[in-house]
Chains A and B, each alone.
Chain A
C-alpha cells in the first residue's frame, strides 16, 4: 500500500475485477491466484481463453503458472532486478510510452539513469531467469494495448516490499499501462475486508479515508465531530505491539477477531509478549490460540448474525445482511465496543449500523456518498464515491493520478534478511491453499474442508528428497533459528531445488514459529516469503 501511495497516490486496485477478462496481457507476480482469489483467477483464465497472454512470475510452478504463456521462475526475493531488467529491455527496444511519461509522470530521469547502470548479465545470475524470457515478457507487456499487473503478498511480504511495489508501478508508468479500462496495477487484497479495515483507519497513522493523524487539519475535523481531544503522534504497528516482549511498551491489549498467535511471524516472541501482558481481552467466535491466553473473552456474533458492510479488493462496498439473531449469549463486535465505550465515560449511541455508516460518510471523503439504502438495491458502490448521487468509480487514475503526477521511484536489489547457509540450507516460503482461510479459525470447523485438506504438507523437490532419503508422507522436523515444527513431506517439482513450501492455516503445525520478523521499514510488512530452514527425517 505504501508503495502505490508514493507512486500513484492511492494504495488500491486500479481496476474492477471484471476488467481483467478483457486485458490482452496479464502479468501476475507474487500471487497464487487460483488458490487465494479463485474468482479473479477465473477472469484470468477466461482472458486466456479469449487469446490473452498470461505471464506468471513466481518461484514455484503454481497452477496458474501451468496455464501461462510464460512462467519466469525467479529466485525468491529477486523481484526488483527482474522488473528493472524488463524496464531496461523496454527502453532499449523503444517500447516506452514517452507521451504518457512526459504528460503524466515525474522523476523519469532518475529511473532512466538507474536502468542504464543495470548489468543484464548480472540480473540473469541474481534472478536465475534466462534473459531471453525476461525480454519476451517485457515485449508482451509493453506491446499490449490493454495490460494488467496483478500482485499479492508474494510482492509485499519482503523486507523490500515497498520497493517491490514501486518497481511494479514504474513498469506500468513506463509503458502508460495505467489510466484506461482493462489496464492497470491491481494489488489483490487477501482478506474479505482488509481494504475496508484500512479505509476505516484501523491503522496506527491514519484516520478513516487515509487522513494522517499527525495532520492538524484532519485531526481538528475529527475532534469537532467526536467532541474530544485526539492523540497527534502515530501509534505502534502490529509487529511493534506483538513483538515487544514481556518488558515491551504495551501492557494491555484489546483484540477483535484476530489470532496473532498463529498469523504473526516468530510466534515464540508473540507468545512471550501476550503472556506477559497485564491485561488481554479478545473478542472472537472461537477460543483461538490467542483467546486461550486472554483474561477476558467476549463471544462475538458471526457475519450471519449481524448487518454492516465489507469492502472487497476492487473497492466495492457491499452489504452484509443479518440472516439469524446472534447465537446463545453472543453479541456483535459493534455492540461490545459501544458497551465498553459507554462504561468508560464516552457515550456512543447508534440506532443501527446504517447510522454508523452516516458518520463514516461524514468523515471519510472517499465514502462520502455511501449509505446503506443506496447499497440495498445495487451490487454495491466502488469508492471513491464523493456524494450521494455519485455512481462510484470502477477504475482509478483516469486523466490524473490521485497524487497529481505519477512519481517514478528507482530501486536497486535488496538481498533478503536471511538466506540459506550451511546450517540452514533450505529456503522456506509459505502461503495459502484453496480449501482454507488464514489461521483456519473458521474453515477448520468444516468437516468437508478438512476432509479435502486436513493437514499441512511440506512441498520438497525430488532431488532434495532423494538426498535426504525422504518419501511422500514421511515426517520431517523443520527448524529455523527461531523454532521448529514437525511436518509431513510431499515430493513435487513445483518447487525449485533447495526450496520448500507449505501453508500456514493449521494450528497443529504452527509454521510461523519459524518465520522471521524482519520487516519492510515503510510498510512494516514482515518477510514471510523468505527464511532459512534445515530438515531432518524423523
Chain B
C-alpha cells in the first residue's frame, strides 16, 4: 500500500490530498495535514475523490462511429482518422473552420500543448475552455 500526495481535481481551492494505492487500484483519499489549503480537512467531494477512477463506466478503448454506431477501434485507426479529418477540414475552410475546446479539468501541461497544437498546427486561434461556465 502506498499513499501518493497529489492535488484534488474538484474546485479551485486546490487541496493537497493523499491517494491510497493498493495493487494498482486507488482505494481511498485523505487530506494532507500540513498543506496550506487543506490543513487536514477535505469536503465531501474530496473524501470521495477516488470513487470515479475505477468506475465501470470508464471508457477503456478508442471509439469510432461506423454506420451510425460508436464501435471500439485501435488507437492507430482513431488517431489516423482524426488527423486526416482535421487536415482535410482545415484545408477546405482555410483553417478557420476548426474549433478546439480545452479543459479547466486538465493539467497546465496539457492545456499548453493543446493551445500549441491549435495555433502551430491547425493555424487558428479558435481555442477556448469553460472558464466562464
Contact = CB atoms under 8 A, between A and B. Distances in A.
Do A and B associate with each other? yes
Contact of B48 (A231, A322, A448): A448
A202 interface: yes
Given A251-B98, A286-B59, A329-B61, A191 B104 contact: yes
B62 A298 contact: yes
A316 interface: yes
Nearest to A36: B11
Contacts of A237: 128
Interface residue tally on B, bucketed by range: 35 or more
16 contacts: A38-B11, A191-B11, A201-B127, A252-B86, A256-B110, A285-B52, A308-B107, A308-B109, A310-B14, A314-B37, A334-B109, A336-B79, A338-B113, A344-B83, A380-B14, A443-B10
A359 B112 contact: yes
B120 A228 contact: yes
Contact of A321 (B5, B9, B90, B96): B5
A360 B97 contact: no
Given A197-B102, A241-B101, A251-B98, A38 B13 contact: yes
B101 A197 contact: no
B86 A256 contact: no
B80 A343 contact: yes
Nearest to B15: A39
Interface in A17-38: 17-18, 36-38
Interface string A430-453: 000011111000110111110010
B70 to A, nearest CB: 6
B52 to A, nearest CB: 4
A222 B119 CA distance: 10
B120 A321 contact: no
Interface in B93-133: 93, 95-117, 119-121, 123-133
Contacts of A356: 109, 112-113
Contact of A340 (B2, B45, B115, B117): B117
B36 A190 contact: no
A471 interface: no
A346 B120 contact: yes
Contact of B59 (A196, A285, A319, A353): A285
Contact of A38 (B9, B43, B70, B97): B43
Contacts of A5: none
A284 interface: yes
Interface string A466-494: 00000000000000000000000000000
A398 B89 CA distance: 49
Contacts of A260: 101, 130
A346 B121 CA distance: 7
A443 B119 contact: no
Nearest to A312: B14
Contact of A337 (B6, B93, B113): B113
A83 interface: no
A26 B105 CA distance: 29
A449 B48 CA distance: 8
Contact of A445 (B52, B87, B117, B124): B52
A238 B108 contact: no
A249 B124 CA distance: 13
A448 B47 CA distance: 10
B94 to A, nearest CB: 11
A314 to B, nearest CB: 8
B129 A258 contact: yes
Nearest to B100: A254
Interface string B43-76: 1110010111111011111111100001000010
B108 A357 contact: yes
Given A193-B106, A256-B106, A313-B12, A296 B114 contact: no
Given A253-B101, A257-B103, A334 B89 contact: no
Given A300-B59, A341-B113, 17 more contacts: A191-B12, A202-B127, A205-B125, A236-B128, A252-B86, A254-B82, A257-B103, A258-B105, A279-B85, A281-B82, A319-B6, A327-B60, A338-B113, A343-B83, A360-B112, A379-B35, A449-B51
Contact of A238 (B19, B116, B128): B128
B77 to A, nearest CB: 9
Contacts of A229: 123
Of listed B64, B86, B87, residue having the most chain A CB within 10 A: B86
A197 B111 contact: yes
A252 B6 contact: no
Contacts of B109: 308-309, 334, 353, 356-357, 360
Contacts of A316: 14, 37
B52 A443 contact: yes
A230 interface: yes
B125 to A, nearest CB: 3
A150 B16 CA distance: 22
A274 B10 CA distance: 27
Of listed A234, A238, A525, residue having the most chain B CB within 10 A: A238
Nearest to A194: B104
Of listed B34, B44, B112, residue having the most chain A CB within 10 A: B112
B123 A231 contact: yes
A99 B70 CA distance: 66
B6 A197 contact: no
